[in-house]
Amino acid sequence: MGGDFAPANIISGGINALKESNNRFQIIFVGKEESILEIINKLPHENLDYQIVNASEVIEMQDSPTAALKQKKDSSITVGLQLVKDKKADAFISAGNTGAVMSASTIILGRIEGVSRPTIGTFFPTEKGKCLLLDAGANVDSKPQHLLEFAMMGSIFTSYILGYQNPTVGLLNIGEESSKGNEIALETYKLLKESSLNFIGNIEGRDILKGKANIVVCDGFVGNILLKFAESILSLMKFKFKNYASQSFFKKLWVGLIYGTLKSVLKDIDYQEHGGVPLLGVNGVTIIGHGGSTPKAIKNMIFRAEEMVQKDINSHIQSKMKNLK
Amino acid sequence: MGGDFAPANIISGGINALKESNNRFQIIFVGKEESILEIINKLPHENLDYQIVNASEVIEMQDSPTAALKQKKDSSITVGLQLVKDKKADAFISAGNTGAVMSASTIILGRIEGVSRPTIGTFFPTEKGKCLLLDAGANVDSKPQHLLEFAMMGSIFTSYILGYQNPTVGLLNIGEESSKGNEIALETYKLLKESSLNFIGNIEGRDILKGKANIVVCDGFVGNILLKFAESILSLMKFKFKNYASQSFFKKLWVGLIYGTLKSVLKDIDYQEHGGVPLLGVNGVTIIGHGGSTPKAIKNMIFRAEEMVQKDINSHIQSKMKNLK
């Protein structure tokens, strides 16, 4: 039920995933049964392996996570995560209220042994494929030890899921030298340097899109601001082009002509095109998607979740985290 | 002598400023006399009001500011700022090593009474004209009181120099509610709320380019990362278009055709096109430009400096800062 186009996009994505995978897994649609049935009945859904579990309440995108989780005990988020907790589902996927999904996952599923704080990452397109930046907003006032854990979890995720060999880790900072940065960054530098990670040192804001590191580590305060800033860039560009097009009939025609090229060239800069990101460090698989997730994004999130379950990412995290302590 | 195209671009910019203003002021070129003369002699420079002050050393862009200021006592940065200190010049302009210019300005000129930490801002293009984000990297681990001072100085600058009426101040944060953010942000929120500033509350990363606030306040760690990230966006776009163009002869032709439009539409997103930014809070006028500043950027920096001197920004800062305490 979560997301700007729920439940329609969520269900379409799920149905498509079942079709494309030939029922390789079962999908449990969690939410208001009536609304779900209404959408499913409009779609070709014969011989597909799904079930519906009713949840009477909906946590809205603008709800305060803490308050919503207290007041709406029968929300699709809570009910869905409880299915994972009870081993009735292997993974939970949502395009809903990010804060609520993170909190509920941590509370209901619990943390993996050795993890101080679960973390959510985000993908940035770069000149050398995508990089994973974490933390993207789950944690503020992170301690150096937390940042080390984020880097470790990100490293495991990118090697097993994205197939990066010995992925590089960069510490987001305001200068390259080890003497640069705020207190937390200075201490984190030392921890990362001593760790078994493939730490390449400090990287600056300009290095992210260049693809200097596979994993970019930072506190969630910085990461969240950067993520939201990045998401807003295409809006400013669209605004500029709209202004330009409004100047004359010819310019309008011209912008119409080049718009398709712009869109295809800049496609992977558009965050809406990406699938979801995992919440790493909880005892279970939770994938969180953009509120505006398309059916295609939802489908990709489902495949990502399947992969995380099959490759048993969490047991890799658990064993690495034990060694980290 | 500072900057990627020094002294050529610096001198061209200065000469152009003198011509355009009909010698409304005098320019003192500070640096290696021979190099300066060599450039000047190539340019039409008759009847222009300039002089040259020799400085035998050059602080390079990659030099560590602290070490360079200790070792290179006769650098153009030190000599130029000393001219301001000695009242032989009204303002100092540089496209050189930002850290060195900031440190030297603070050490040589001193701080304005009531200012705990000088701050450097940066302009972001928005859907509603440009906004000033500060701090952009002069200060890390800023305290709430520092952020309040940055906001106050930014407010004075944007009202007197950019002509903004009662400019709005937004606190860069990870959510709109006053309960959001890290410890520093929570405390800063209260200080800003109680101040005489036109504080509109927390703003998120996505609100900057929308133009939600005229002044965006944050710690220099976040501001610097954001600034450098923003500067790198056009590089990624160029990279994408280059890739696209390399796919076929037709695509190459097509990109050539649309490139001019892209450039003109996105012009003010290109940070190289902006002039410099002031270092606010020091006893004197210091304007710092991008290392890659064009002659046009240098010229605009000179006019900006003239305006800051004429409007006596520093005395406005001083009187406001007294009330702030």
Which residues does chain B have within 8 Å of residue A262's beta carbon, measured at their own beta carbons? 262
Looking at the complex, does the CB of residue B303 fall below 8 Å from at least one CB of chain A? no
Q: Tell me, what's the ipTM?
A: 0.89
Contact B228 A204 (CB under 8 A): yes
Ranges A201-215, B146-160, B254-268, B283-297: which has the least confidence: B254-268
**Global pTM value:** 0.91
Q: pLDDT tens digit string along A102-139?
A: 999 999 999 999 999 999 999 998 999 899 999 999 89
B224 has pLDDT over 90 = yes
pLDDT band at A231 (very low <50, low <70, confident <90, very high): confident
A256 has pLDDT over 70 = yes
B222 has pLDDT over 60 = yes
Instruction: Sketch the domain layout of chain A as residue ranges.
Output: 1-115+273-310, 121-231, 234-264
Ranges B88-102, B259-273, B279-293: which has the least confidence: B259-273
What CATH superfamily classification does B1-115+281-320 receive? Isopropylmalate Dehydrogenase (3.40.718.10)
**Residues 35..64 of B with a Cβ closer than 8 Å to A: which?**
64
Query: Dmax of chain A from CA atoms?
Result: 65
Q: pLDDT tens digit string along B149-166?
A: 999 999 999 999 999 999
Contact B140 A235 (CB under 8 A): no
Q: pLDDT tens digit string along B58-84?
A: 999 888 888 999 999 999 999 999 999
Nearest CA in chain A to B136: A174
Q: Which of B139, B173, B225 to mutate to probe the A interface, most A CBs <10 Å?
A: B225
Contact B226 A231 (CB under 8 A): no
Listed residue (A160, A18, A105) closest to A282, CA to CA: A105
Nearest CA in chain A to B183: A141
Nearest CA in chain B to A225: B205
Of B125, B127, B205, the CB nearest to A228: B205
Q: pLDDT tens digit string along A131-168?
A: 999 999 989 999 999 999 999 999 999 999 999 999 99
**Residues 131..170 of A with a Cβ closer than 8 Å to B: which?**
137, 140-141
B50-54/B91-94 β-pairing: unpaired
pLDDT score of B267: 73
More confident residue, B250 or B117: B117
A190 has pLDDT over 90 = yes
Which residues, other chains included, contact B46 with Cβ-Cβ below 8 Å and sequence gap of 6+?
none
pLDDT score of B21: 96
Ranges A109-113, A283-287, A312-316, B321-325: which has the least confidence: B321-325
What is the number of CB-based contacts under 8 A between chain A and chain B?
142
Rounded (10°) angle between helices B76-85 and B98-109: 30
pLDDT score of A312: 95
Ranges A150-154, B163-167, B186-190, B251-255: which has the least confidence: B251-255
B274 has pLDDT over 80 = no
Percentage of chain B surpassing pLDDT 70? 97
Q: Which of B174, B231, B259, B272 to mutate to probe the A interface, most A CBs <10 Å?
A: B174
Q: Alpha-carbon distance A110 to B90, whole Å?
A: 62
Distance from CA of B265 to the nearest CA of A (A): 6
Topology (CATH level 3) of domain A121-231: Rossmann fold (3.40.50)
Q: Which of A208, A229, A247, A254 to mutate to probe the B interface, most B CBs <10 Å?
A: A229
Element of type H or E holding A200: strand A198-203
Contact B229 A231 (CB under 8 A): no
Residue by residue, DSSP assigns B180-246 as -S-HHHHHHHHHHHHSSSEEEEEE-GGGTTTT--SEEE--HHHHHHHHHHHHHHHHHHHHHHHHHHT
Of A181, A236, A261, the CB nearest to B140: A181
A309 burial (CB, 10 Å; 0-12 / 13-18 / 19+) is middle
**Residues 213..252 of B with a Cβ closer than 8 Å to A: which?**
218-222, 224-233, 235-237, 239-241, 244
A303 has pLDDT over 70 = yes
Class for domain A1-115+273-310, per CATH? Answer: alpha beta
B273 has pLDDT over 70 = no
pLDDT score of A22: 96
pLDDT score of B270: 61
pLDDT score of B265: 75
A322 burial (CB, 10 Å; 0-12 / 13-18 / 19+) is exposed
